[in-house]
A and B are shown apart, each in its own frame.
Chain A
Amino acid sequence: DSGVTQTPKHLITATGQRVTLRCSPRSGDLSVYWYQQSLDQGLQFLIQYYNGEERAKGNILERFSAQQFPDLHSELNLSSLELGDSALYFCASSVGPGDSYNSPLHFGNGTRLTVT
């Protein structure tokens, strides 16, 4: 058990809809990261937050947004969903902002999103 909690485990929705994925980091971790994993793309970094502020941005679509709350949990919002958004969405956390090599990522078990 990595200590990172993601809910829900599974989500099925229709095209055009909006969903929210939730992540609770490990106790004491201040950074949260979101990754997308689809069959043909592998693991893709989306975005990172550190202590409530956006820290780094990857290949995140404009239809997607995220935030980290004062209690450090994070939410990833996906809107105007398309069939191609079907994927596993992973959250990870680490202690620091990324400046220390002693801060590996700890991943949750993901949310499987199916868009029909």
Chain B
Amino acid sequence: DAKTTQPPSMDCAEGRAANLPCNHSTISGNEYVYWYRQIHSQGPQYIIHGLKNNETNEMASLIITEDRKSSTLILPHATLRDTAVYYCIVRVEGGSNYKLTFGKGTLLTVNP
């Protein structure tokens, strides 16, 4: 699976959009980009994933560049409860096994 690079930490003001970048310059054509987050000491929570088109759900939007070498997770109106570590993961679909390799992620702190 391709490696990802994320900034170790970011700050965001409550009510503003939080834009979390992820670099995955070695991504392969069949690898999807997944985002999970982990609020302190809780289990990771799935947010969104995509292959090459931009995706949106009730939690966030995922913008993937045309060359797929980077992506941005957007939380449109961050709240204090969005303070968490955000993990960007790329993985191959198909195949006989399934595991997610979590890196160090980005600690997003939403400030009042």
CA distance A110 to B44 in the complex (A): 10
Instruction: List B14-39 residues whose CB lies under 8 Å from chain A.
Output: 32, 34, 36
Contact of B98 among A94, A107, A112 (CB under 8 A): A94
Q: Is B104 an interface residue (CB 8 A)?
A: yes
B46 A99 Cβ-Cβ under 8 A: no
Known: A42-B102, A43-B102. A98 touches B46 (CB 8 A): no
Most buried by B among A4, A101, A103, A110: A101
**Known interface pairs A42-B103, A99-B93, A101-B49; A109-B98 also in contact (CB < 8 Å):** no
Task: Flag if A55 contacts B97 (CB, 8 Å).
Answer: yes
Q: How many positions in chain A have a CB within 8 Å of any CB in the partner chain?
A: 29
Encode contact with B along A93-116: 1 for CB under 8 Å, 0 otherwise. 010011111011111111010000
Size of interface on B: residues with Cβ below 8 Å to A: 23
On chain B, the residues within 8 Å of A55 by CB distance are 96-98
Chain A nearest CB, measured from B89 CB (Å):
10
In-complex Cβ contact of B100 among A45, A97, A100, A108 (8 A): A45
CA distance A42 to B8 in the complex (A): 13
Binding site for A on B (CB under 8 A): 32, 34, 36, 41-46, 49, 51, 93-104
Q: Can you list 22 pairs linking A and B with CB atoms under 8 Å apart?
A: A33-B98, A42-B102, A42-B104, A45-B99, A45-B101, A48-B98, A56-B98, A90-B43, A90-B44, A92-B44, A98-B95, A98-B97, A98-B99, A99-B94, A101-B32, A101-B93, A104-B49, A105-B100, A106-B46, A107-B43, A107-B44, A110-B41
List the 8 closest pairs (A to B, CB-CB), nearest first. A98-B98, A107-B43, A56-B97, A43-B102, A104-B46, A45-B99, A101-B93, A107-B44
